[in-house]
Every structure is written in structure tokens, then in C-alpha cells.
Amino acid sequence: MPLVAHNDLPTFDKLRREGVRVLQPDLAGHQDIRELHIGLLNMMPDAALAATERQFLRLIGESNPIAQFFVHPFTLDALPREPSAREHIDRYYESFEQIKDKGLDALIITGANVIGADLSREVFWRPLIEVADWAHENVTSTLCSCLATHAVLDFRYGQKRIKQRRKKWGVYRHRVVDHAHPLVVDINSEFDVPHSRWNSVDPGQFTSAGLKILVTGDDGCVHLATSPDGFRTVFLQGHPEYDTISLLKEYKRDVNLYIDGEIKVYPPMPDNYFGDFSAAIFREYRSRVDRSLAQASDIPEFPEHLVQNLLHNTWQDTATAVVGKWMGLIYQYTNIERRKPFMQGVDPDNPLGL
């Protein structure tokens, strides 16, 4: 159940202040429970690097299995980084070579801030394939988030993501469509999930690849699916790890891009996220920004302080439940001799007996 602060990653202190249980290694050594080692391949841009650590570590730390979680963050050297982010990575992250040498029980691969539909043109393409293929053979289960889902569906299943006319951005209602699968059994049958993406893999593509669809949105989009065996790879298109204010921060970033002239059209507000009062504040702010730009006067301060306490989180409990069930399956189906993907006698092609 608790995270173990096996290094001095600052995220551990931030989670403690939030009330998440984090053990020191000496105390963890006296706990008579098993440990699980979870890799976190963090591909997010510099500004979101630490926040992404915190979001996924929180979900892991609040999950239910009786285990101690050692989380091992790493990234891809091919991704360009500013000096401050590079210093953070050099100090707190492990290399992929170290990860391979030690082994993992499970792996989480984050998304990345890429708009273009063709991922094979990105600098991380080949290194990401190397990590995902290694994990497929050596790790009990891999959880792919958003862009990582699109990448794996592309290079492993030949399903390329499709650019949408409009960014899917906001909080959307979803429902469970396969109630018998262990990842979703007994969770809320309907729940919200944040999304933030220009590209999509549609349900027909998941089906053509032989994947198991577990959760879909009101518009039919796939949020949660698994590989044909039901467990080896877990796919997410949404962002259940998001903080309550994550979409607010993204909206602020996009507004600033408009102010700086990097985008020509004022960004829309995220769907189903702001209440009427907050939306009115941001409509007024847009008018003030456009007026200031026209008059070449000072830009007013972004009014996040007026709305951040009015935002509601309607997804965190279900996200924690799903990750908790994923951790429970990893605990159950990882051999007691750590680093062996499945227990003796379990069919690796159908470990859950589905």
C-alpha cells in the first residue's frame, strides 16, 4: 500500500504534504509485506515533468494491494531538455540500462506533448519502441497513457492515430462496457475522465487489432482497453491521473500562447470543466486581453486565483480504483521470485483466464 522513498526525489516530500503515505527505507525494511518495483517512463515536456511524477505516484501510492511500491522514473535521452530539467533527470532519474539491469514488475509510459499525427517522425519513436518491446517480454504489465497508447497501437498493431478537426479537451462522461474484466469489476459503472488530445484511435481500430475494450465515452471513444490477453498491455486514451487544476494550467498555457502570438485563435475553454461563474470570468478576461492587445497596453493577470477553488474533481476515485486493481493483478501474477513475469502454470497468452 505505501510508497517507499528509496531516493531523494522531491515528489516524495510533496506527496507527504498532501497526506499520501510514504515510507522511509529503514521503516519499510521492517514491514513483512512484498515489494513491487514500478517503472515510470516520463516523456512529458519540462514544465510538466515533476507534476506528471506526482500524479502517477499518487495513483500508485493510494492503490489498495498490501505491497510496498518502489517507483523508478526514467526518460528517453532523445527528448530535448532544458538545463534545469536535465539536472533534475540526472539527479533523480535512472537510465534505461539501469532499469533493464534491475528489472521491473510493471511499467507506466506517460504521454508526450506532440500534436502531429505521424509519430514515426518524432525523435523518441525508435527509443520508445525499444522500451515498449523490452517491457513486453520482461515486465508483467505495461500501462500506456494517451500518446503512448497511440504509439503502441501504431508500431505493434498497425493502427495509426487520426487527427481530429477539434481538440478533445475537457472532462467527459464514460461507461464500463465489459463489466466482467478484473480491471473494472465493481468500480463505478459511469464516471468522468479528463482528455486533452488532438488525435484519436477510434473503436473500430481497437477492434481490428483484437484488443479488449473496457470503457468508452459518451461519444463512443475508447478510454480503457487491453491487449488481447487482457493484461500484458493496458491502454488509456484519457488522463485519469490529472490533478483538479491540470486543465486550468493547460488553458492558461494556451491563452499565453495566444497572447505571445504563437497561435492565432483564442483557445476555447475545456468542455464540462468550468462552472457558469468561472466561465463568465474567463469570457470577461478574453475581452480584456483582446482590448489590451489592440491598444498595446499591459496584459491583465490570468484570473486563476478566482476559480481554482471552484473546480471539482469527478474522476480521481475511479482512477485510483482502476490503478489499484491493476496493481493487485500485478501482485497476484508476478512470480514470488521477483522479475519473473508470470507464475508457473499460468498461460502467458491468457493470464487472467478470460
- Domains, the chain, in order of start with CATH, read 3-243+313-333 (3.40.50.880), 246-310 (no CATH)
For the question of residue 239 being annotated catalytic, the response is yes
Does residue 84 contact residue 45 with C-beta atoms inside 8 Å?
no
Does residue 70 sit in helix, strand or coil?
strand
Is the CB of residue 240 less than 8 Å from the CB of residue 319? yes
Q: Which three cell numbers stand for residue 324?
A: 489499484
Selecting among 144, 146, 221, 250, the annotated active-site residue is 146
Long-range contacts (CB closer than 8 Å, 24 or more residues apart) made by 247-256: 247/169, 247/170, 247/171, 247/194, 247/196, 247/273, 248/273, 248/304, 248/307, 248/308, 248/311, 250/169, 250/196, 251/282, 252/302, 252/304, 253/47, 255/289, 255/302, 256/302
- Alpha-carbon gap, residue 246 to 230, rounded angstroms: 30
Please work out, in degrees rounded to the nearest 5, the angle formed at the alpha carbon of residue 175 by the alpha carbons of 115 and 326.
75
> Annotated catalytic, 241?
yes
List beta partners, residue 200: 162
Q: Which residues have C-beta within 8 Å of that of residue 93, sequence separation ≥ 6? A: 42, 73, 74, 75
Active site annotation includes 146: yes
pTM of the model: 0.87
Going from the C-alpha of 288 to that of each of 54, 206, 295, 296, the distances in angstroms are: 34, 45, 10, 12
- The CA radius of gyration of the chain, in Å to the nearest whole number, is 21
Active-site position among 53, 62, 122, 241: 241
Bridge-based pairing of strands 190-200 and 162-176 is antiparallel
Q: Show the cell assigned to 322.
A: 482502476
d(CA 145, CA 143): 7
Task: State how far the Cα of 164 lies from the Cα of 249, in Å rounded to an integer.
Answer: 22
What is the pLDDT tens value at each position of the chain, 354 positions in all?
Answer: 567 788 888 888 888 787 666 767 765 555 556 789 999 999 999 999 999 999 999 999 887 656 788 999 999 999 999 999 999 999 999 999 999 999 999 999 999 888 788 999 999 999 999 999 999 999 999 999 999 999 999 999 999 999 999 999 999 999 999 998 989 988 999 999 999 999 999 999 999 999 999 999 999 999 999 999 999 999 999 999 999 999 999 999 999 999 999 999 999 999 999 999 999 999 999 999 999 999 999 999 999 999 999 999 999 999 999 999 899 888 877 754 444 555 555 666 777 666
List 37, 174, 181, 239, catalytic entry = 239
- Within the chain, residue ranges assigned H as helices are 10-18, 25-28, 49-61, 83-92, 96-102, 125-138, 147-157, 203-208, 246-259, 276-295, 304-307, 316-333
